[in-house]
């Protein structure tokens, strides 16, 4: 059963193999979708040191409800430190649909981040694919920074905002996977495992394959989120960020 699942996982990531810098080679630099119309102003809940001299201080944030009025496939918003990644995330019945479509389902080279059709945002492992580029910081390009352990130490967590809650995830592993290596397991694209034993084996393997040790432990009760994008230094590779929910 495990080998069958890994085979399915391999097909899944191959289906998403357009998620790379090579996609932009004939088009040049591309920007991600402009979400200006979906921002709303919010005031801080309380006065902080940063805004104590300006009680009217406010900031803008993406409105999930406004985004969903445009596209009901949107399931959440992904947010990293300093909003280097701040993107709505969709899910469709298959993994090809949003590879080159934007929030309005119009053609767009940059596409939009999407949850794997094999699972959903409540799965044991929420797998999200997104484009990266050699020329522009679109969508998941900033994930390349996690190849350096120093960057990870400064930005070890990220958030996923849903209709009902704000989830915080702590990164426990960063992998660089070679799609040409048939011995390189693609089990990270799975949304679930048949047993705790299989899950623990996956976690152990993933940590061992990591580019560096984070010291973060994972147990069978944890729920995961995995972010996948092209390694723009080598289009046959994928950068994989593995995280566990900690909120």
Q: Cα 129–15–71 angle (5° rounding)?
A: 50
pLDDT at 234: 75
| pLDDT tens-digit profile, the chain (247 residues) | 444 445 444 444 544 444 444 333 333 334 468 999 999 998 665 544 555 544 444 589 999 999 999 999 999 999 999 999 999 999 999 999 999 999 999 999 999 999 999 999 999 999 999 999 877 778 999 999 999 999 999 999 999 999 999 999 999 999 999 988 877 889 999 999 999 999 999 999 999 999 999 999 999 999 999 999 998 777 788 999 999 999 9
* Domain annotation covers residue 76: yes
6 Cβ contact partners less than 8 Å away, ≥ 6 residues apart: 185, 186, 187
Query: Could you tell me if residue 132 is inside a domain?
Result: yes
pTM of the model: 0.85
Whether 50 is in a domain gets the answer no
Phi, psi of 156 (to 5 degrees): -85, -5
Residue 137 falls inside a structural domain = yes
Instruction: Determine the structural domain holding residue 225 and report its residue range.
Output: 2-42+57-245
Q: Which residue has the tokens 């998941």?
A: 140
Task: Classify residue 178: in a domain, yes or no.
Answer: yes
Q: Which CATH number does the domain housing residue 10 bear?
A: 2.40.260.10
d(C-alpha 78, C-alpha 188), whole Å: 19
Our count of domains for the chain comes to 1
CA trace torsion 148, 153, 154, 156 (10° rounding):
100
Scanning the structure block, which residue is given the tokens 């990591």? 210
Q: Pick the closest to residue 135 from 236, 237, 16, 22 (CA basis).
A: 22
H/E stretch holding 89: strand 86-91
CB 111, CB 102: distance < 8 Å: yes
Please tell me the predicted confidence (pLDDT) of residue 11: 44
Task: Provide the pLDDT for residue 33.
Answer: 85
Q: What burial class does residue 36 get, using C-beta atoms within 10 Å of its C-beta: 0-12 exposed, 13-18 middle, 19+ buried?
A: exposed
- Which residues are bridge partners to 40 per DSSP? 61
In 3D space, the residue among 177, 193, 18, 170 whose CA is nearest the CA of residue 118 turns out to be 193
52 domain-assigned: no
């Amino acid at each position: 059963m495990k080998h069958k699942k890994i085979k399915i996982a391999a097909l899944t990531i191959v289906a998403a193999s357009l998620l790379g810098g090579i996609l932009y080679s004939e088009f040049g630099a591309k920007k991600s979708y402009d979400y200006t119309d979906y921002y709303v102003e919010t005031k801080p809940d309380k006065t902080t040191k940063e805004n104590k001299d300006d009680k009217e201080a406010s900031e803008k944030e993406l409105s999930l409800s406004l985004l969903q009025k445009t596209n009901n496939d949107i399931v959440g918003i992904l947010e990293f430190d300093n909003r280097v990644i701040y993107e709505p995330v969709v899910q469709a019945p298959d993994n090809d649909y949003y590879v080159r479509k934007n929030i309005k389902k119009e053609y767009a080279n940059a596409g939009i981040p999407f949850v794997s059709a094999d699972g959903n945002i409540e799965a044991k492992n929420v797998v999200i694919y997104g484009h990266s580029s050699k020329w522009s910081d679109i969508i998941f390009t900033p994930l390349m920074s996690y190849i350096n352990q120093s960057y990870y130490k400064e930005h070890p967590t990220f958030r996923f905002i849903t209709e009902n809650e704000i989830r915080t995830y702590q990164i426990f592993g960063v992998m660089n996977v070679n799609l040409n290596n048939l011995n390189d397991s693609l089990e990270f694209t799975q949304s679930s495992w048949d047993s705790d034993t299989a899950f623990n084996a996956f976690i152990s393997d993933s940590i061992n394959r990591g580019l560096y040790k984070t010291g973060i432990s994972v147990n069978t009760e944890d729920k995961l989120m995995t972010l996948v994008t092209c390694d723009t230094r080598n289009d046959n590779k994928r950068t994989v960020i593995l995280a566990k929910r900690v909120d």
